[in-house]
């Protein structure tokens, strides 16, 4: 059992990695008592984000072991602190990447708390009471209500879970660039994984022309037929890449591994924007020429604010957008992480937490 601070009296079963082998095993730990601003949540489902792999294998060099991953959490409220507003027992709720922020800075005050300097994450973070945060690969979570959102009644809980990270991470840049309201732009999505497949669904639902740029020719048929993409380019095919030069207004890069930006930048029209949300562990090489000859911009962003996360879920409720998932029992987490690392998932693993037996 893990060492924790004195206010941590609630025993919780979960699953953790203990070293950079990334192997996940059952793990019992303590969570804080339900404070005045907290809700306790019985976790039903938790998505497996590629970020979980970066952490369990310490690919970014910042992991505090043992790490209980998971920041695509949905469940049902089981306890409500007395200062909590807007939530009651039995509510269907979600928690994403945010566990704590300063609540006072200009970003916290303008619903951009995801850019707060004091941001602490749902796992591998340090909460206000000094304890290390543990994520959603577990049966119960205590969360400050200011970082909790409502799941629309018409959305299934399992396929909604990945929206809490993957969904808002791709929704936020589309909104920031006016692409939720305007229609008819040409948008490129690089990498058709967990983030990428939701991005295609959003961009199509918002009325845009969507090109997927992928390393996997095997994903073409489903990208077009199931997800509704208009074009599919294999990034290793120079002829296809050449043919698509200067065709896109906006590109969202969701790739988790090292890759070259030059050919991607060349796909942008003059004044186009490449928005990076994927987080490879190695730095990019940034070529000057495609920027200066095309007046192009590169920027990046992290998830979205809480208000924006609720807005994204409400939009999903309206358009009936959920993720394409493979539901697994907790005893298959290691297999799922391995398959995700091998780019073998359509398009998100989700853990059925309630399906845990006493042995897993
Ligand atoms: N900024 C944020 O707030 C935020 C939030 C969540 C996640 N992330 C990061 O976003 C990245 C993607 O997460 P995810 O959960 O969507 O991962 P994922 O499901 O593994 O998808 C990543 C996709 O990238 C492509 N890819 C993989 N290796 C590649 C390579 N060597 N070269 C080119 N393309 C490659 C694959 O698509 P194709 O088969 O189509 O090529 C793969 O499906 C991760 O780095 C994650 O940490 C960032
Ligand atoms: Zn994530
Ligand atoms: Zn702040």
Q: What is the pLDDT along the chain (360 residues), one digit of tens a residue?
A: 455 677 899 999 999 999 999 999 999 999 999 999 999 999 999 999 999 999 999 999 999 999 999 999 999 999 999 999 999 999 999 999 999 999 999 999 999 999 999 999 999 999 999 999 999 999 999 999 999 999 999 999 999 999 999 999 999 999 999 999 999 999 999 999 999 999 999 999 999 999 999 999 999 999 999 999 999 999 999 999 999 999 999 999 999 999 999 999 999 999 999 999 999 999 999 999 999 999 999 999 999 999 999 999 999 999 999 999 999 999 999 999 999 999 999 999 999 999 987 555
For the chain, which residues make up each domain, given as ranges?
8-164+324-355, 166-300
Q: Same CATH topology for 8-164+324-355 and 166-300?
A: no
Whether the full predicted model's pTM is greater than 0.75, yes or no, is yes
Nearest CA to ligand 1 atom 36: 191
User: Looking at domain 8-164+324-355, does it have CATH number 3.30.70.1050?
Assistant: no
Nearest CA to ligand 1 atom 21: 193
Nearest CA to ligand 1 atom 17: 50
Q: Which of 173, 160, 135 is closest to 55 using CA atoms?
A: 135
Among all chains, which residue has been given the structure tokens 């398959």? 339
CA of 221 to the centre of ligand 3 (A): 44
Q: How far apart are alpha carbons 183 and 355 in whole angstroms?
A: 42
CA of 105 to the centre of ligand 3 (A): 4
Q: How far apart are alpha carbons 59 and 72 in whole angstroms?
A: 20
DSSP annotation of 161: G
The angle at the Cα of 302, spanning 138 to 22, to the nearest 5 degrees, equals 40
Q: Which of 60, 64, 52, 47 is closest to 24 using CA atoms?
A: 52
C-beta separation of 278 from 254 below 8 A: yes
Q: Which helix (H) or strand (E) holds 122?
A: none
Q: Which of 66, 65, 51, 45 is closest to 141 using CA atoms?
A: 45
Identify the CATH assignment for 166-300 out of 3.40.50.720, 1.10.15.40, 3.40.47.10, 3.30.450.20.
3.40.50.720
């Amino acid at each position: 059992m893990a060492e924790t601070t004195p206010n941590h009296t609630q025993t919780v079963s979960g699953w953790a990695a203990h070293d950079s082998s990334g192997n996940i095993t059952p793990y019992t730990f303590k969570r804080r008592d339900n404070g005045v601003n907290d809700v306790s949540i019985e976790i039903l489902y938790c998505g497996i984000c590629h970020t979980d792999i970066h952490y369990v294998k310490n690919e970014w060099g910042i992991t505090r072991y043992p790490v209980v991953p998971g920041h695509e959490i949905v469940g049902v409220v089981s306890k409500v602190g007395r200062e909590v507003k807007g939530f009651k027992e039995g509510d269907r709720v979600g928690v994403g990447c945010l566990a704590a922020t300063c609540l006072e800075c200009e970003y916290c005050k303008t619903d951009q708390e995801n850019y707060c300097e004091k941001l602490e994450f749902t796992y591998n973070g340090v909460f206000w009471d000094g304890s290390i945060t543990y994520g959603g690969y577990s049966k119960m979570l205590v969360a400050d209500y200011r970082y909790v959102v409502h799941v629309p009644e018409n959305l299934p809980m399992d396929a909604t879970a990945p929206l809490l990270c993957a969904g808002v991470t791709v929704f936020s840049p589309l909104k920031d660039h006016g692409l939720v309201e305007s229609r008819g732009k040409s948008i490129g999505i690089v990498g058709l994984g967990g983030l990428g497949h939701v991005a295609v669904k959003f961009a199509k639902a918002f009325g845009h022309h969507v090109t997927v740029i992928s390393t996997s020719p095997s994903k073409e048929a489903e990208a077009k037929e199931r997800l509704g993409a208009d074009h599919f380019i294999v990034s290793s095919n120079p002829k296809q890449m050449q043919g698509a030069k200067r065709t896109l207004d906006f590109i969202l890069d969701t790739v988790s591994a090292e890759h070259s930006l030059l050919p991607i930048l060349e796909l942008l029209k003059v004044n186009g924007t490449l928005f990076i949300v994927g987080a490879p562990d190695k730095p990019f090489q940034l070529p000057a020429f495609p920027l200066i000859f095309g007046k192009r911009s590169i920027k990046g962003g992290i998830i979205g604010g809480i208000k924006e996360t609720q807005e994204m879920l409400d939009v999903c409720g309206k358009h009936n957008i959920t993720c394409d998932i493979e539901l697994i029992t907790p005893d298959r987490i290691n297999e799922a992480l391995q398959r995700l690392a091998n780019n073998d998932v359509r398009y998100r693993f989700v853990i059925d937490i309630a399906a845990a037996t006493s042995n897993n």
